[in-house]
Amino acid sequence: MNVTEPIINAALLGTATKEFTPSGFPEALEENFCLLQEKAEDTEDAFYQIAALTFAYQRAGTEPQSAEETTAISEAPEDSLPYFDRSVGEMLVQMVNERNRYLLLYAYRKAVQCNKLIPPFYLRPLIFRAYDRNNPDKHEEQSLLSLLTGNRGRWLLPHMELPDWGDTGNETWETASHEERKRMLQRLRKETPEQGLALLQTELKNESAAHRDELIQCLRTNLSKADENFLQEIVTTDRSSNVKETARRLLCSLPDSELVKTYCDLLHGKLHYKMLLGWSYDKITFTPEMKKLGLEEVSSNKKEKDEEFLLRQLAERVPLSFWAEFYDCSPEKAAAKLAKKPPFGSYFNLCQPIENFGDNLWAYQTLKEDSNEAYASSLMGLLTPEQREEINFQTDSKSNYIPESWYNADGTQWGIKFSTRALQRLFHSNYYYYPKEMAERLSLYFPPEMLPKVEQQAMAYDADHAIAKFCRLTAEYMRMKEKINTMFNDNK
């Protein structure tokens, strides 16, 4: 018997004229028919459900589950916000399929500003990617999608056998895993730093040494004078030397901490500079207290005197205010003088204290005075896009990469001059391998004015040359970025 024929006949006559009564059907189907008729709101609703079940049974070629084995699925809740049109969903799925991780995050961030939702039809591939354990952006994608998928997105998660959104803020410290605790603490340090500090003060003692070390590192976000007493207590009382060292390094990053003041006091009066004679240094004796301050007694460089090595360690730990007092001038002038002729010659690492204190002014004045390869690679990330436009940095690097710190975390677009120099830096390399991830990432930082320059570079080489391919790909991604901007600007 063809199980679909009675269904088709009933549909042609209409349920108002002829009530559908299944007969001669497989036992498993009749059992489910009775269950559907009992629970349906009316005969028409029951007929639709029976028809769907029958056609599915015929196509599958297997018997349906018994009523006891079936799983009831609740109806998806309605959303209160409007949906984007289909073109948005299609674009997002396309970026998932083509593994455009940076463009996808950029699009999500833009979409969140529109107060609209992604159409439900497109959610499954987006959610699957956000929960892929190999996805480096999974936590941020989950956080953004929790805002972009609405009630239907949350309804869909358990049906995909996935947990609720990973970063909804509903975790408790007691039930959270170590990774969840770190994310919780990092979020608190961004939003309300004092609450993050208070949480550590009450909960840190119950953690293992390795976990204490990782949790304390979260204090680097919005580190301030308010954290000093707690960190100093860790340095004094913690049982783990690694944890103590982590706390000490954080204290070293506070220019007004007591530890940094101690470094300044030890160095004060020990350095001398004369215009004609250059630098000279007083002798200093290593003491057990200095070891507790994180200082070493003997240099690994046999050409460096141990007395000067000790002073150099101190000089690499003091803030710009120390040098302003030393030179008796403004911080801007002190930074320029120090960059022009630093103490201890080539042994002195000027970038170390600037990066340690995250000092924008110090980095800016240093690069204005000297924008050599080492300084530019280390310090450029501390500058604003406007400041970078003023630095005509030179490069002798043969490595085809952009330093990670140059990709500023806030995603602010670079200026045209800096973008041009960054591109020239890439092509200065002897290695012609440029990953697509780099092209995609650069496209988000390059301003629109860079597009003709990138396309011009592509035409300057043979079509199969690595640089030509890289430039064509970068230009394609830049156009994709503009498409994203237009699409979401129109949806606001």
Residue 9 has pLDDT above 80, yes or no: no
Residue 465 has pLDDT above 50, yes or no: yes
pLDDT: is 150 or 410 the higher one?
Answer: 150
What is residue 14's predicted lDDT score, i.e. its pLDDT?
65
Average confidence (pLDDT) over 244-256: 95
pLDDT (tens digit per residue) in 14-52: 655 556 666 667 776 777 777 777 777 777 777 777 778
pLDDT (tens digit per residue) in 73-113: 778 889 999 999 999 999 999 999 999 999 999 999 999 99
What is residue 168's predicted lDDT score, i.e. its pLDDT?
45
Distance between CA atoms of residues 449 and 454, nearest Å:
9
pLDDT: is 6 or 453 the higher one?
Answer: 453
Residue 139 has pLDDT above 70, yes or no: yes
Single-letter residue type at 238: D
Task: pLDDT band for 339, please (50, 70, 90 cuts).
Answer: very high
Residue 131 has pLDDT above 80, yes or no: yes
Residue 416 has pLDDT above 80, yes or no: yes
3-state SS string over the chain? CCCCHHHHHHHHHCCCCCCCCCCCCCHHHHHHHHHHHHHCCCHHHHHHHHHHHHHHHHHHCCCCCCCCCCCCCCCCCCCCCCECCHHHHHHHHHHHHCCCHHHHHHHHHHHHCCCCECCHHHHHHHHHHHCCCCCCCHHHHHHHHHHHCHHHHHHHHHHCCCCCCCCCCCCCCCCCCHHHHHHHHHHHHHHCHHHHHHHHHHHHHHCCHHHHHHHHHHHHCCCCHHHHHHHHHHHHHCCCHHHHHHHHHHHHCCCCCHHHHHHHHHHCCCEEEECCCEEEECCCCCCHHHHHCCCCCCCCCCCCCHHHHHHHHHHCCCCHHHHHHHHCCCHHHHHHHHHHCCCCHHHCCCHHHHHHHCCHHHHHHHHHHCCCHHHHHHHHHHCCHHHHCCCCCCCCCCCCCCCHHHCCCCCCCCCHHHHHHHHHHHHCCCCCCCCHHHHHHHHHHCCCCHHHHHHHHHHCCCCCCHHHHHHHHHHHHHHHHHHHHHHHHHCC
Q: Which residue has the tokens 């320059």?
A: 453
What is residue 38's predicted lDDT score, i.e. its pLDDT?
75
Instruction: Name the average pLDDT for the chain.
Output: 88
Residue 350 has pLDDT above 70, yes or no: yes
Average confidence (pLDDT) over 147-169: 84
Residue 438 has pLDDT above 90, yes or no: yes
What is residue 15's predicted lDDT score, i.e. its pLDDT?
56
What percent of the chain stands above pLDDT 70? 89
Residue 244 has pLDDT above 50, yes or no: yes
pTM of this prediction?
A: 0.80
Residue 11 has pLDDT above 80, yes or no: no
In the structure encoding, which two tokens stand for residue 421, read together? 């120099």
